[in-house]
């Protein structure tokens, strides 16, 4: 693990934070099955269930869909089934409630533990969804993307609130008192974490919202991240990012009812 020279004394602590995650690479593709992993496009959705809508009755739009039979394994993550992330295309913050990040009114996280491959049982006509020609919709991308997955390891990212505390404690414990912000910037240059992913550590353009959470509750870890991506023409506002977090105990139970969703931009 490469480190700025002044952080060599924190090597053991930083190496201990390393996690396995899945890097996601999107490729534009408008010819996918309903059950494939994808960004955008038409979702897998059984006819007998109620399609997710906002409180105003607007159908939510698929942000991302992960079919775990197509991915490599991650600890505590599903081994099968489909996990979906929806957002309200008419919402100013892409469906995020900045007063309650867990309120799934304008976004939704849905998990299907079994996949029905009989299209007769699935919604196939999505003409009820907002049109991309509607000038009032706000989405981070237009179209759909197929996904490939790559297993990678990473230490805590330069934007994770826990790193800031580690560096602050390190600076306060040394006689030399190196500059905190210089150390943080040097680390961010190495481990920024600005990529699409499942698991691992997050990237932010602003502050980590978890830094203000009650320290007595179980910490939230990154579930899914989608960044702005010029190559794929994905743009969250002003070069922003969308993050979804979950508590490990909930992930083990495949309970996605209290996922928190954060969007920020420059």
Q: What would the mean pLDDT of 53-62 be, rounded to a whole number? A: 97
Q: What would the mean pLDDT of 237-266 be, rounded to a whole number? A: 97
Q: Which helix (H) or strand (E) holds 151?
A: strand 144-154
What's CA 95's distance to the chain center, in Å? 14
Q: What would the mean pLDDT of 1-14 be, rounded to a whole number? A: 91
Q: What pLDDT shows up at residue 24?
A: 98
CA 50 to each of CA 59, 67, 255, 260: distance values in angstroms, whole numbers, following the listed order:
10, 20, 19, 22
- Assess whether pLDDT exceeds 90 at residue 202: yes
Whole-angstrom distance between the N-terminal and C-terminal Cα of the chain? 29
- Assess whether pLDDT exceeds 90 at residue 177: no
Domains of the chain and CATH, by start: 5-264 (2.30.320.10)
Q: What is the pLDDT of residues 122-163, one digit of tens each?
A: 999 999 999 888 989 999 999 999 999 999 999 999 999 999
Q: What pLDDT shows up at residue 142?
A: 92
Tokens standing for residue 83: 């996990």
19-28 vs 144-154, strand pairing mode: antiparallel
Question: What percent of the chain stands above pLDDT 90?
Answer: 88
Tokens standing for residue 236: 């969250």
Q: What pLDDT shows up at residue 172?
A: 87
Asked if 236 contacts 262 with a C-beta cutoff of 8 angstroms, the reply is no
Q: What would the mean pLDDT of 12-24 be, rounded to a whole number? A: 97
């Amino acid at each position: 693990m490469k480190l700025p020279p002044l952080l060599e004394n924190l090597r053991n602590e930083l190496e201990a934070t390393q996690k396995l995650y899945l890097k996601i690479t999107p490729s534009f593709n408008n010819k996918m099955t309903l059950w494939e992993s994808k960004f955008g496009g038409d979702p897998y959705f059984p006819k007998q269930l109620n399609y997710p809508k906002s409180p105003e009755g607007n159908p939510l739009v698929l942000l991302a869909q992960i079919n775990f039979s197509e991915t490599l394994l991650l600890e505590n993550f599903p081994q099968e089934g489909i996990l979906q992330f929806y957002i309200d295309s008419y919402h100013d913050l892409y469906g995020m409630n900045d007063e309650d990040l867990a309120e799934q009114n304008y976004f939704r996280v849905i998990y299907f533990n079994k996949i029905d491959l009989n299209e007769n049982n699935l919604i196939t006509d999505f003409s009820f969804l907002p049109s991309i020609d509607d000038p009032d919709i706000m989405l981070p991308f237009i179209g759909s993307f197929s996904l490939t997955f790559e297993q990678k390891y990473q230490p805590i990212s330069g934007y994770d609130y826990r790193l800031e505390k580690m560096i602050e404690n390190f600076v306060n414990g040394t006689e030399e008192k190196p500059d905190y912000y210089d150390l943080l910037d040097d680390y961010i240059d190495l481990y920024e974490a600005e990529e699409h992913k499942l698991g691992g550590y997050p990237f932010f353009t602003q502050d980590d919202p978890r830094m203000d959470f009650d320290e007595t509750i179980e910490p939230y870890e990154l579930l899914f991240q989608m960044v702005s991506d010029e190559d794929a023409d994905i743009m969250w506002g002003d070069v922003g990012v969308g993050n979804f977090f979950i508590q490990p105990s909930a992930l083990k139970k495949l309970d996605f009812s209290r996922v928190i969703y954060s969007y920020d931009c420059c």
